[in-house]
Structure formats: C-alpha cells, structure tokens
Structure 1
Amino acid sequence: MHPRIRLELAKRWSEPHREHHDTDHLAEVVRAVDLLASSGMAFDIDTVNTAAWFHDAVYDVHRADNVERSATLAQRWLGPGEGDRIAQVVMATTDHVAATGDVESAVLCDADLSILGADTERYDRYAHAIRVENLHVPDAEYRRLRSRVLARYQARSELFATAAARELWEDQARENLARELTRLGRPVAV
C-alpha cells in the first residue's frame, strides 16, 4: 500500500470519536492476522492486511453503512483490480461470514472478531468502549441492541471461520459473550 494512503487511513483510525474502532483495534487485528499466518494457514497476507486497514476506515456510529463506505473507499483509493478485491474482503465483515473458499475474507473476519476471545480484562475494556461509542443510544435500547448482536454470535455453532482461530479464541470468546449477555440482563444459552 502506498505510504500516502496508509497515512490517510491512519488519520481516519485516529478520529476522536473512536473508542474501540481506533488505532489500537487496527493493531490488534493486524497482530491477529500475523498470528493466523504463523499457524501455518495459507493466505495472501498482504491482501488481508490491506483489507484490515480499510475495514473500519469509515466509522460513524450514526450510520449503518460504514462497511459499505469503507469498501467503496478501498475501491476508489486503490483502483480497479486490487481495490475490488480489498472491497470484497472488507464487505465480509458486514456479518463476519466469508464466502466459501474465500480464505482472505475468513482470516479478516476472524482477526476482527479476535477481540471476543481476549482475556477478561481486555474484553471488558472493549465492551465499555463500544458503549462509549454509542452513548447517544438510551441505555435500555443499547442493552437490547447489544444483546441481539451478541446473541447472534453466541448462536453460531462456531464463532470463527478458521480452525486456527477457533483453537486460539473460541472458548474464551464463548465465556466473554456469556458474561456480557448476563450483565446486559439477557438469559444465556448453555
């Protein structure tokens, strides 16, 4: 990626309204990609890392189309070919489900969700940061919406798309989701 593009993306990731979707999150996603690569998985690491830089490049808590806008930004800034592929990988983070056989999208989705499998203290800081980003949402509504998102993840037979990610983060992620759902006042499926 051209240094000018990286600099412009770094500015976006550093916007003051970001509590979780910030440079720390980007660094964690890139570290998770590296960890998955070191597990022996075969994928195009440059594609995934470029997509990581773009995946939350546009982030406005008042809009529901941030992923689409981030993908469009990749297409515009990177041009045909590379931009289209990066946009495709970024779009998988809409629901964190990769198309069958799209290993790069699976890796980015797993790296983005790796925060769910963080240790308890880091996960709790993440959950707090998500709430801070959404302070404009009344508490009861936030609890309902957040519970719905977490319950969708909890209902998956496997949270992560790749075996390496499941080995690294699945068990801790299940514990974290159950703990936060309980805190939000939603019954936890066992």
Structure 2
Amino acid sequence: MPDLRAQWRALVPGAEALAEDLITRWSQPHRHYHTTDHLAAVLTVVDRYADLAPDADAVRLAAWFHDAVYDPRAPDNEERSAQLAETGLPAAGVPAGRVTETARLVRLTAGHAVADGDRTGALLADADLAILAAGQHDYDRYAAAVRREYAHVPEAAFRAGRAAVLESLLALPALFRIVPPRVEWEDRARANIERELSALRRASP
C-alpha cells in the first residue's frame, strides 16, 4: 500500500497530528471497506489523472476527508466529514478557498451527482466509484465488505437498502465522467451492479 503519511506530508506539510487523526479514523475496527485501503485506492486514481482537474490538491484533500467520519448507523457522514475538513484544514494552514472547495467536494460524495463542467468534482467521483468497475472477484469482495459494515441490519432490510443504493447509482446519467477509460469502466460497473441487484432480488422472500 502507498505510504499515506508521506503522501499527506507532500500535500499538507507540518500537519502530522491531523494526518494521524485521519488515519486513526480510517482504521476504525467497524470499517471493512471504507478503510485506508479505499483511501489509498482513491488517491491512486486521483494521482493517475491529476492533470484532468483544475485543483488536484483539493481532490486529494477531499479524498482524505470524504469518509473520515463513517458511522453505518448515521445518515449524515458526508456532512460531518465536510465539517471536519472545515475545522481541521484552516488550522493546518490550508488556504480558505481550498478549504471551501475541499468541503464542497466531500459533500458531493453523498450522491455523486456532478454538474456539467465540474472537472474537479468529476475526478473525485470517478475515483471514489472506481471499485464499481473492478473485476468480478474484487467487486464481490467489496460488496461483502459493505455487508459486514452493516452487520447490525437484518438481512431483509439490508437487501432493500442496498438495492435502493444500487438503483440510485444506475439512475445517474453516467457513473464515470472524466477518466480516460470511462466507457470501459461504465460498462463493467453497470454489469457488476446489475449482477449484484439480481442476487439481492433472488434472495428476497
């Protein structure tokens, strides 16, 4: 896995305490998918296609914060994560404009709806959703990890809620907007989602 601390130091020098707080959050034991592995995967996509966004560092900061608050029982994780960025980044010396943009991007991940022309938002959304376009084995591992994060939810309720999330993703005009392999990713992601939906529906009483 990439050295997250080194990546953070390059992004926000002299803010080691904030990095440690974020890594601790991403390492909480109730997380099974939304872990430092997911953070590293998002940052890898952002770095690969950084030249596509007007402010790639804001995208990187948003990647660090977008699931910093993650409580599967709460409906406002993205909002609380954005507020964490608004609180922590100014104290780390990040300019106000970039703090505002970072928080906007974090809030965008609540539904991954990206406005036309929002290249910065598109890069974050594409990176965050890249797992959907993984090979079947990795996608199935991702889906199983999400189920583990919602172990407190009864099976029938989980199937209904998960199906609603997947259907909302399929309803997006496009899952991927800006990365060069977006057509290939789109086809593979929609096939994965449809396959998971079919399994959820078959399991329903």
**TM-score normalised according to structure 1 size:** 0.90
1:5 aligns with 2:21: no
Deviation track 1:125-144 (CA, whole Å, cap 9, x = no partner) reads 00000000001111011101
Matching residue of 2:183: 167
Task: Check whether the contact 2:123–2:179 (CA below 8 A) recurs between aligned residues.
Answer: no
Query: What stretches of structure 2 of length at least 5 have no aligned partner?
Result: 1-11, 91-95
SS state at 2:52 partner: coil
Shift of 1:163: 5.2
1:95 aligns with 2:108: no
Q: 1:71 aligns with which of 63, 82, 87?
A: 82
Could you say what the CA RMSD is over the residues aligned between the two structures, in angstroms? 1.6
Q: 1:55 aligns with which of 52, 62, 66?
A: 66
Q: Percent identity of the aligned residues?
A: 48
Task: Check whether the contact 1:48–1:107 (CA below 8 A) recurs between aligned residues.
Answer: yes
Matching residue of 1:24: 37
Task: Check whether the contact 2:134–2:188 (CA below 8 A) recurs between aligned residues.
Answer: yes
Tell me, in whole angstroms, the C-alpha distance in 2 between the residues paired with 1:52 and 1:182: 31
In 2 relative to 1, CA 28–168 (structure 1 residues): closer, same or farther, beyond 3 Å?
farther
1:120 aligns with 2:136: yes
Shift of 1:121: 0.8
Paired positions, count: 184
Supply the AA of the counterpart residue of 1:128. Answer: A
In 2 relative to 1, CA 15–29 (structure 1 residues): closer, same or farther, beyond 3 Å?
same
Tell me, in whole angstroms, the C-alpha distance in 2 between the residues paired with 1:53 and 1:121: 26
Matching residue of 2:56: 45
Task: Check whether the contact 1:110–1:165 (CA below 8 A) recurs between aligned residues.
Answer: no
Shift of 1:115: 0.6
Task: Check whether the contact 2:34–2:67 (CA below 8 A) recurs between aligned residues.
Answer: yes
Shift of 1:54: 0.3
